[in-house]
Amino acid sequence: MNATAIDKPRVEMRSIGKSFPGVRALSNVDFTLYPGEVHALLGENGAGKSTLIKILTGALNRDAGEIRLDGKAVNFNSTGEAQAHGISTVYQEVNLIPAMSVTKNLTLGPSRDALGVISWGKARKRAREKLSRLKLNIDTEQPVGSFSVAVQQLVAIAHALDDDTSVLVLDEPTASLDAQETATLFAIIRDLKARGMAIVFITHFLDQVYEISDRISVLRNGNLVGTHMASEISRQDLISEMIGRELGEVEATLAHKAESGPGKQKLVARDLGRKRTLKPFDLTLHAGEVVGLAGLLGSGRTEMTKLVFGAIRSDSGELHVDGQDMSGATPRRSLASGIAFCPEDRKAEGLVGDLSIRENIMLSMQAKRGWLRQLPRREQEKIAGEMIRALGIATPDAEKPVRQLSGGNQQKVVLARALASNPGILLLDEPTRGIDVGAHAEIITLIRKLCNEGMALLVASSELDEIVAASDRVAVLRDREKVGEIDGADINRDNIIRMIAGDDSGQH
């Protein structure tokens, strides 16, 4: 790595800014990439990693800042232009056509043959050359889909690599690989690095970050928190940078938590788990208690909430709600027994965009009542109106399609739906994701209010300060395993971070 420090940077991104309607995705981000280095890019969901990468690879245009390639200012309007300058990307989902042969897949893209006519003889030869760069010896006439995910991943990398590729971006390349396959991939990365390739490596596995990268940059909420030599930053400091401090005011207002102590047991999970999803865990929720779920991206936060709700079917252990056996329950049955769930991905799993705010709010409650007993329209309007007022949903009327609301208001509609079903237990996955600071504080306040009214809440969040501010107890996850709990007065950033980091280097 010392060698690279004296080299000239291959890529310099300076003061990059990018906004989407209602969201500031990146502001003033610097990112430098040297030849022969592996540069890890870290951050939680929505931190701005993919936006930064898309700007680098020409998939998005920046609003501000400049990009220099080997010292020259460049401006890519398409991924094709970036590729022509030697910048290639391999995305997390393998972008290959499974039913096509390896040769055909490797031939897709800008044609170099005369008149766009493909000579398959040449194409086969070129495909084998590309694969030999990665020391991959496979039958190029077999369909890509017939190979393991790891080989497909390597074929995708081969596809991305050209003779003149100098920058390779790997977006979560190891997400679906096992340890052996990861080792193979890393050997290839090291080889490419030795040949002077500049590599951006996006992942959420910290062990892999330390294993393969030379430098680490951390993004949070669209800002660069810092760039470090991998050898000079501890795991704890790294985690602390990733899940930073956002909540100052809220924390102050909520310093006083429930004095009364938790009520009776509402939900007990014993050895609940699912293979390859989350190791079996124990969890108890009491009435009048907020349990926070802390852990890094990919540690199993979402999976735990979904296992408890039955949105992911468990294959081990049992679940009891109010003393009733709920093992293997479907979302519908969970809802009927008084559990409500607000998923992380509002658009895909939360809202029905074309239906009105009223219809979205009514959905769970109506599902609970059954299809025959439709709530009278006047009643529906009353409940929707109350929810809109209580949660401060900004809308002229309840009949507006929910798609047209802002992110924060959409989140409140998801919450309103859960609350309208009158649950005793509320599971919230990232309740403040992608919403502005004002709405953020309101939702934390609401969580505490519901708790004081006797509800049992499980709140998964990537924001540590949010967890600290809202929770009476914190369950900590690491690498798809619950590693411990922190109680009452011991809940603070340092304790949680220490537990997330762990002493062992937990193999993934």
| Total residues belonging to the chain | 508
Q: Report in angstroms how near the CB of residue 197 gets to another protein at its nearest.
A: 40
Q: Report in angstroms how near the CB of residue 41 gets to another protein at its nearest.
A: 29
Label each residue of 207-246 as H, E or C. Answer: HHHHHHCCEEEEEECCEEEEEEEHHHCCHHHHHHHHCCCC
Contacts of 209 by beta carbon, 8 Å cutoff, 6+ apart: 40, 42, 201, 203, 216, 230, 238
Question: Which of these ranges, 17-25, 269-277, 335-343, 404-412, lies near another protein under the rule CB under 8 A?
Answer: 335-343
By the rule CB under 8 A, 321 interacts with another protein:
no
The closest of 466, 481, 457 to 341, measured between CA atoms, is: 457
List the one residue from 49, 235, 417, 478 that touches another protein (CB under 8 A).
Answer: 417
User: Which residue type does 171 have?
Assistant: D
Q: Report in angstroms how near the CB of residue 382 gets to another protein at its nearest.
A: 17
Angle at 457 between CA 473 and CA 42, to 5 degrees: 70
Q: Are 244 and 225 in contact (CB under 8 A)?
A: yes
By the rule CB under 8 A, 311 interacts with another protein:
yes
By the rule CB under 8 A, 480 interacts with another protein:
no
The closest of 313, 351, 347 to 330, measured between CA atoms, is: 313
**Cα Rg for the chain, rounded, in angstroms?**
25
By the rule CB under 8 A, 58 interacts with another protein:
no
Query: Is 201 or 309 the residue whose CB approaches another protein more closely?
Result: 309
Query: Is 226 or 353 the residue whose CB approaches another protein more closely?
Result: 353
Three-class SS state of 463:
coil
By the rule CB under 8 A, 115 interacts with another protein:
no
The closest of 476, 474, 408, 403 to 446, measured between CA atoms, is: 408
Q: Report in angstroms how near the CB of residue 356 gets to another protein at its nearest.
A: 10
Query: Is 349 or 442 the residue whose CB approaches another protein more closely?
Result: 349
Query: Is 331 or 506 the residue whose CB approaches another protein more closely?
Result: 331
Query: Binding string to another protein for residues 258 to 297, with x set by CB under 8 A, is what?
Result: ----------------------------------------
Query: Is 403 or 493 the residue whose CB approaches another protein more closely?
Result: 403
The size of the interface with another protein (CB under 8 A), counted in residues, is 32
| Residue showing tokens 């047209």 | 404
List the one residue from 100, 363, 390, 437 that touches another protein (CB under 8 A).
Answer: 363
List the one residue from 151, 175, 367, 390 that touches another protein (CB under 8 A).
Answer: 367
By the rule CB under 8 A, 405 interacts with another protein:
no
**If you write DSSP's letter for every residue of 233-293 in order, what string do you get?**
S-HHHHHHHHS----HHHHHHT-S--SS---SEEEEEEEEEETTTEEEEEEEEETTEEEEE
By the rule CB under 8 A, 121 interacts with another protein:
no
Query: Binding string to another protein for residues 370 to 399, with x set by CB under 8 A, is what?
Result: xxxxxx------------------------
Catalog residues that contact another protein under the rule CB under 8 A: 309, 311, 331-332, 335-336, 341, 343, 348-355, 359, 362-364, 366-375, 417, 421
